[in-house]
Structure 1
Amino acid sequence: MPSPFLLALTGAGLLIALVVWLPLLVRRLPLSMPILSVGLGALFFLLPFGTPLALPQAHPRLVEHLTEIVVIIALMGAGLKIDRPFHWRRWAVTWRLLGLAMPLTILAIAALGVWGLGLPLALAVLLGGALAPTDPVLAGDVQVGPPRSGPEDEVRFGLTSEAGLNDGLAFPFIHLAIALGAVAGTGGAWFGEWLAWAVLWKIGAGVLVGWGMGLGFGWVTFHVPPESALARTGDGMIALSATFLSYGAAEMAQGYGFLAVFVTALAYRHAHRQHDFHDAMHAMTDQVERLLMTAVLLLLGGALTGGLLAPLTWADWAMALLVLLVVRPVAGWLALLGLGAPAGERAVLACFGIRGIGSFYYLAYGLNRMETAEAGRLWALVGLIVLLSVLLHGLSVTPILRRLDAWRGRRRLKGSARRP
Structure 2
Amino acid sequence: MLTNWLPLALAGVGLTGIVLALFSAPMQRRVPLTESLVALVLGVLLGPAVLGLIEVPDDVRDAIFLEGSRVLLAFSVMAAALRFGFDSLRGLLRPVLLLLVVVMPVAALLTGLSALALGVPVALAVLIGACLAPTDPVLAASVVTGEAAERTLSERVRSMLTMESGANDGLGIVLVGVAVAAVLPAEGFAQAIGLVAWEVAAGAVIGVAMGWLAGLCLRAAVNHHDLGEGPELVYTLLLALAVLGVARLAEVAGVLAVFVAGLAYNRVVPDSPRRHQVAVDEGINRYAVIPLFAVLGIVLPWAQWSDLGWGVILFVLGVVLLRRPGLVVAFARPLGVRRPQAAFMGWFGPMGVSALFYMEHARDEGVQDPALFAAVTLAVTVSVVLYGLTANPGRQFYAPHDQSPRERTSQER
| Partner Cα separation in structure 2 for residue 4 and residue 388 of structure 1 | 26
Which of these two proteins has the greater Rg computed from alpha carbons?
1
Instruction: Output one character per residue of 1:210-229: Cα deviation in whole Å (capped at 9) or x when no partner.
Output: 12211111111122475252
Distance 1:190 1:404, change over 3 A: same
| Partner Cα separation in structure 1 for residue 343 and residue 257 of structure 2 | 30
Whether contact under 8 Å (1:55, 1:306) holds in the other structure is no
Distance 1:306 1:121, change over 3 A: closer
Distance 1:371 1:397, change over 3 A: closer
1:213 to 199, 210, 215: 210
| Residues 220-369 of structure 1 mapped to structure 2, 5 A cutoff | 220-224=217-221, 227-230=224-227, 232=229, 235-275=232-272, 277-304=273-300, 307=303, 309-369=305-365
AA aligned to 2:287 is: L
1:405 to 396, 399, 402: 399
AA aligned to 1:31 is: L
| Partner Cα separation in structure 1 for residue 398 and residue 308 of structure 2 | 36
Distance apart, 1:47 and its partner CA: 9.8
AA aligned to 1:302 is: I
1:91 to 90, 93, 99: 93
Aligned to 1:14: 15
Aligned to 1:126: 127
Whether contact under 8 Å (1:53, 1:306) holds in the other structure is no
Distance 1:398 1:87, change over 3 A: closer
Identity of aligned residues (%): 26
Whether contact under 8 Å (1:15, 1:295) holds in the other structure is no
Aligned to 1:117: 118
| Partner Cα separation in structure 2 for residue 58 and residue 231 of structure 1 | 38
Gaps of 5+ in 2: none
Whether contact under 8 Å (1:222, 1:230) holds in the other structure is no
Distance apart, 1:297 and its partner CA: 1.6
Whether contact under 8 Å (2:100, 2:168) holds in the other structure is yes
Partner of 2:136: helix, strand, or coil? coil
Distance apart, 1:369 and its partner CA: 2.0
Q: TM-score, normalised by structure 2?
A: 0.85
Distance apart, 1:153 and its partner CA: 2.7
AA aligned to 1:288 is: I
Distance apart, 1:138 and its partner CA: 1.0
Whether contact under 8 Å (1:215, 1:267) holds in the other structure is yes
1:393 aligns with 2:387: yes
AA aligned to 1:171 is: I
Gaps of 5+ in 1: none
Larger helix percent: 2
Instruction: Output one character per residue of 1:209-260: Cα deviation in whole Å (capped at 9) or x when no partner.
Output: 1122111111111224752522655641222210111112223333211111
Aligned residue pairs total 405
RMSD, aligned CA: 3.3
Instruction: Indicate the larger mover: 310-319 or 256-265.
Output: 310-319
Aligned to 1:34: 36
Distance apart, 1:293 and its partner CA: 0.2
| Partner Cα separation in structure 1 for residue 225 and residue 399 of structure 2 | 37
1:195 aligns with 2:193: yes
AA aligned to 1:69 is: V
Aligned to 1:380: 374
| Partner Cα separation in structure 2 for residue 37 and residue 9 of structure 1 | 12
Whether contact under 8 Å (2:139, 2:285) holds in the other structure is no
Whether contact under 8 Å (1:247, 1:258) holds in the other structure is yes
Whether contact under 8 Å (2:32, 2:389) holds in the other structure is yes
Partner of 2:355: helix, strand, or coil? helix
| Partner Cα separation in structure 2 for residue 181 and residue 171 of structure 1 | 15
